[in-house]
């Protein structure tokens, strides 16, 4: 029977007995805060029934903390549940006379659902009707199973707690034995004592190290907000999930599926204290055990990103304040003349009439964009796609009627977020700001009144489809840039303010910036999903989903593209992401690696940042180094802000030396795009990251666990960038037990460990990992051209002189549903015993016919190659390149979609 698969240990206290509790001061690292507000004193603490003992460890360590008998006790027998698992009813401990905010639930239930051998769900709730996140969690690939990776221990001494233990190692991946379980109407808390200090994730915020620092107490708040990323404060997205590498290298990922204002407190125990202000506890544990398996299981549950349009993986150009078609085209032309590839051009607010979304300034009222539709059509003949910025906030000024169709039709179709009295919520944002001039700062009083689209309403999705179709009839855009969708406003709450109630002013607010109505909609305003108190952080997620559903029919069988600033688990199914309004600083360059690797964990692998920074003016050195590393972001876009001191930072605006550096880096990107594209295919079918840290491949390497100044594209392409001003060398780490070869010449790294690499102004260090085969393609100025070119392979041999890889190829534009029907090409590649073979697995994509696999670069052969046989026939067009003894083979002219064998003889 399914229930018997999981070993369960129950340790119960005989009912009616008394547990003697020590009155000695508890170690700072093990304390759970009992007084969450500032100004705790012994008098206030003890008046709540808490324990007082001055802390000595950290200023955030509490002096007022919970006694060990605080919590819940098991109430009645443990019962089996039909889905497979257990239900445990709990009753608040008689000794728990402490209440954080009031309205504690006296009775709650804990459900353990054994979803699969790799996935466990834990749900804790009371008997009231509580908000649950409307995200569909996909069933596991192999439900049930007979060999679970976990077992569960319960105890009731002195209060209920449980542990989820990895069977193979005995590590407790979830351990609530520190206590602190709280379930109140507007305050829920659970504390997880973790098995190691190698934790990663939780967002969205700017983290200064990828690995969490458990040496001190610190808070990661989560609540979507339009705010520039500076430190631990909450910004655009909400991702209550982390991945942890355990002491033996096994790895798990945990999701807390909740959308209320919330926070994670890190403590030296080590532990994560999770607090949220509503909903319930709905916890998913993905057991891995490898890092990519754990993260992949999470991605498959929340929904992986579809394979992106191939062109969207090319280089993207954008800026706010081109101000005219002439300036925009001048940027595109100098990029082309510099030999720098470009696939995408963006339009920002400046193309709009008076900053009204779904318009363009056709009469040059403020900026000269007359002729924009013809210009976009002409760009497409050059292979450049066009993406336009749109906002969900629609100008609500009656003077816009009847000509402003988004407002007129929005009223007619009833698409707005509502106040409690049923009238539309009204904030302020961009519309009208253009005619006021830029000298007036953005904020309250700037711009004009707006209503907010409610994407949880079916009528709103149909309305969005209609106005997007009308807009595309005018401007033939290829994708949408969903901005300001936290949702942002420049007035807090509403132009008429927010009501004074416990929804708008809850008894506890996590450590977010200001309060939960700050520069956004009042929490008691209403969507179809429910009140914004529960749904606020789902707004960008719902827009990405609703917009994708609405515009998908406009493109027939072709893929479109969406770029969303606000995200939530599952957003990657509908949109890529950039990390918002960053700064032109070396610190933001370094933190970009951490942020993008984090979003690869979160399930949006096509992520990037504004290369060279959005705010501020970068030096040429900073921008050049940023363009070097940005060439290898999964999503690569250069963008900057409108400014009173106008300047350009696009790659062709710098010196010849800088342009040469950017050209080389981006041409390498375009060369390895087939390898990167295959990684997106792998993500689509089984989850996993595109950009990852070294520990994702080497979880047992203690040094690799802390490296966040390098990153891998997939398992095999290592980027070691310059991240500090004035540096002409970098310290790169190469894990033991692997071979690494310089991308440019095949030279092998001679010793594992930390290595100093030279990095002059125009150079970024790139290495290929032994044991892997990377498909490549001759680059060009855009993917429309490069996709017509010959393919190649980079074959890097491991210590056994073997390598393997795979290749996926399709038309680059057709929907995933067609891909699922098998309309693609896929092959496996293997090098062993001197023989390189391709085995075709699927050959249903006709468009690959006529393309050839033309070249090979072989790294790390055991001896100098003197003879090459292609399917048994000698091939003589090859040479050895020093200093790395790299073998380069040319003019193979093999049909890409054929089985072949190439033999390399000494």
Which active-site residues does the annotation give? 483, 486
Strand, coil or helix: 64? strand
**Contact 206/231 with Cβ under 8 angstroms?**
yes
Cα distance between residue 42 and residue 22, in whole Å: 19
Please provide the size of the chain in residues. 906
Write the DSSP string, 744-789: TT-PBP-SSEEEEEE--TT--EEEEETTEEEEEE---SSHHHHTTS
Q: Is the bond preceding 897 in cis, omega lying within 30 degrees of 0?
A: no
Q: Quick one: which H or E segment has residue 450?
A: strand 448-452
Strands 894-895 and 852-859: antiparallel
Strand, coil or helix: 110? strand
Cα distance between residue 814 and residue 308, in whole Å: 10
Cα distance between residue 4 and residue 38, in whole Å: 48
Residues in Cβ contact with 356 at an 8 Å cutoff, skipping those fewer than 6 apart: 395, 400, 404, 431
The label of the residue with tokens 């090319």 reads 314
Q: Is the bond preceding 270 in cis, omega lying within 30 degrees of 0?
A: yes
Would you give the DSSP letter of residue 848?
Answer: G
Cα distance between residue 275 and residue 181, in whole Å: 10
Exposure string for 442-481, b = 16+ CB within 10 A, e = fewer: eeeebbbbbbbbbbbbeebbebbbebbeebbeebebbbbb
Interaxial angle between packed helices 656-686 and 620-630, expressed in degrees from 0 to 180 and rounded to the nearest 10? 30
- A 10 A CB-CB count for 215 gives 13
**Contact 320/327 with Cβ under 8 angstroms?**
no
- A 10 A CB-CB count for 93 gives 17
Residues in Cβ contact with 739 at an 8 Å cutoff, skipping those fewer than 6 apart: 748, 749, 769, 770, 771, 796, 797, 798, 799, 860
Q: For residue 172, which of 148, 153, 188 has the smallest C-alpha distance?
A: 153
Interaxial angle between packed helices 620-630 and 586-602, expressed in degrees from 0 to 180 and rounded to the nearest 10? 20
Cα distance between residue 25 and residue 339, in whole Å: 68
- The Cβ-side half-sphere exposure at 80, using a 13 Å CA radius, reads 10
The label of the residue with tokens 């760009």 reads 379
């Amino acid at each position: 029977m399914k229930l018997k698969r999981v070993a369960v240990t129950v340790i119960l206290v005989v009912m009616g007995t008394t547990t003697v509790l020590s009155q000695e001061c508890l170690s700072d690292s093990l304390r759970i805060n009992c007084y969450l507000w500032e100004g705790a004193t012994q008098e206030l603490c003890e008046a709540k029934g808490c324990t007082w003992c001055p802390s000595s460890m950290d200023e955030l360590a509490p002096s007022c903390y919970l006694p060990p008998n605080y919590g819940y006790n098991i109430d009645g027998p443990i019962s089996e549940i039909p889905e497979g698992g257990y239900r445990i009813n709990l009753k608040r401990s008689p000794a728990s006379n402490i209440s954080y905010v009031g309205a504690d639930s006296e009775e709650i239930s804990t459900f353990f659902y054994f979803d699969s051998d790799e996935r466990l769900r834990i749900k804790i709730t009371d008997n009231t009707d509580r908000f649950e996140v409307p995200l569909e969690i996909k069933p596991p690939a192999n439900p049930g199973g007979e060999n679970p990776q976990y077992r569960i221990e319960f105890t009731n001494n002195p209060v209920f707690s449980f542990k989820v233990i990895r069977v193979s190692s005995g590590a407790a991946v979830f351990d609530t034995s520190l206590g602190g379980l709280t379930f109140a109407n507007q305050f829920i808390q659970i504390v997880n004592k973790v098995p190691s200090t190698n934790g990663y994730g939780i967002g969205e915020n700017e983290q200064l190290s990828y690995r969490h620092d458990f040496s001190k107490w610190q808070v990661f708040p989560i609540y979507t907000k339009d705010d520039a990323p500076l430190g631990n404060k909450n910004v655009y997205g909400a991702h209550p999930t982390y991945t942890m590498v355990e002491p033996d290298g096994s790895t798990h990922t945990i999701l807390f599926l909740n959308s209320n204002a919330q926070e994670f407190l890190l403590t030296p125990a080590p532990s994560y204290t999770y607090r949220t202000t509503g909903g319930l506890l709905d916890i998913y544990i993905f057991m891995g055990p490898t890092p990519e398996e754990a993260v992949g299981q999470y991605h498959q549950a929340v929904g992986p990103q579809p394979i992106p349009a191939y062109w969207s993986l090319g280089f993207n150009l954008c800026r706010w304040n081109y101000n005219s078609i002439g300036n925009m085209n001048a940027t595109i032309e100098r990029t082309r003349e510099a030999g720098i590839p470009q696939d995408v051009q963006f339009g920002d607010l400046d193309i709009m009439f008076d900053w009204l979304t779904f318009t363009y300034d056709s009469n040059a009222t403020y900026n000269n964009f007359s002729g924009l539709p013809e210009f976009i059509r002409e760009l497409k003949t050059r292979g450049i796609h066009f993406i336009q910025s749109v906002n969900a906030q629609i100008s609500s000024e009656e003077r816009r009627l009847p000509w402003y169709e988004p407002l007129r039709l929005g009223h007619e179709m009833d698409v707005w977020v509502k106040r409690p009295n049923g009238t539309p919520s009204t904030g302020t944002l961009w519309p009208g700001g253009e005619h006021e001039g830029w000298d007036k700062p953005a904020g309250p009083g700037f711009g004009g009144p707006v209503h907010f689209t409610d994407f949880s309403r079916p009528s709103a999705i149909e309305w969005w489809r209609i106005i997007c179709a009308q807009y595309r009839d005018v401007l033939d855009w290829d994708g949408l840039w969903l901005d300001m969708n936290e949702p942002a406003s420049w007035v807090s709450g509403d132009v008429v303010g927010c009501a004074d109630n416990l929804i708008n002013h809850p008894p506890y607010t996590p450590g977010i910036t200001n309060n939960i109505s700050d520069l956004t909609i009042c929490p008691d305003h209403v969507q179809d999903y429910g009140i914004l108190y529960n749904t606020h952080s789902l707004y960008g997620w719902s827009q990405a989903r609703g917009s994708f559903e609405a515009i998908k029919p406009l493109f027939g069988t072709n893929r479109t593209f969406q770029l969303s600033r606000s995200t939530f688990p599952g957003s990657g199914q509908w949109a890529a992401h950039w990390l918002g309004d960053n700064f032109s600083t070396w610190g933001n360059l370094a933190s970009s690696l951490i942020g993008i690797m984090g979003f690869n964990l979160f399930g949006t692998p096509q992520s990037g940042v504004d290369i060279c920074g959005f705010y501020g003016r970068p030096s040429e050195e900073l921008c050049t180094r940023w363009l070097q590393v940005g060439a290898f972001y999964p999503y690569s876009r250069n963008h900057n802000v409108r400014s009173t001191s106008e300047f350009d930072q696009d790659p062709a605006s710098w010196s010849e030396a800088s342009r040469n550096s950017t050209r080389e880096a981006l041409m390498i990107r375009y060369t390895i795009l087939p390898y990167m594209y295959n990684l997106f295919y792998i993500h689509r079918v089984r989850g996993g990251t595109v950009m990852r840290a070294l520990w994702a491949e080497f979880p047992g390497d203690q040094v690799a666990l802390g490296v966040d100044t390098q990153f891998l594209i997939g398992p095999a392409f290592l980027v070691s960038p310059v991240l500090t001003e004035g540096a002409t060398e970098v310290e790169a780490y190469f894990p033991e037990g692997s071979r690494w070869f310089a991308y440019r010449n095949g030279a092998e790294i001679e010793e594992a460990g930390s290595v100093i690499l030279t990095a002059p102004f125009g150079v970024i260090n790139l290495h290929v990992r032994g044991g892997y085969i990377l498909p490549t393609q001759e680059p060009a100025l855009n993917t429309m051209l490069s996709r017509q070119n010959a393919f190649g392979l980079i074959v890097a041999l491991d210590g056994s002189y073997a390598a393997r890889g795979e290749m996926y190829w399709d038309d680059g534009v057709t929907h995933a549903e067609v891909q699922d029907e098998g309309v693609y090409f896929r092959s496996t590649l293997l090098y062993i015993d001197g023989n390189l073979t391709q085995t075709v697995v699927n050959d249903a994509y006709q468009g690959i016919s006529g393309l050839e696999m033309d070249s090979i670069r072989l790294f790390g052969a055991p001896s100098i190659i003197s003879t090459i046989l292609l399917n048994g026939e000698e091939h003589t067009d090859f040479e050895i390149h020093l200093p790395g003894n790299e073998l380069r083979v040319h003019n193979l002219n093999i049909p890409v979609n054929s089985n072949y064998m190439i033999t390399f003889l000494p």
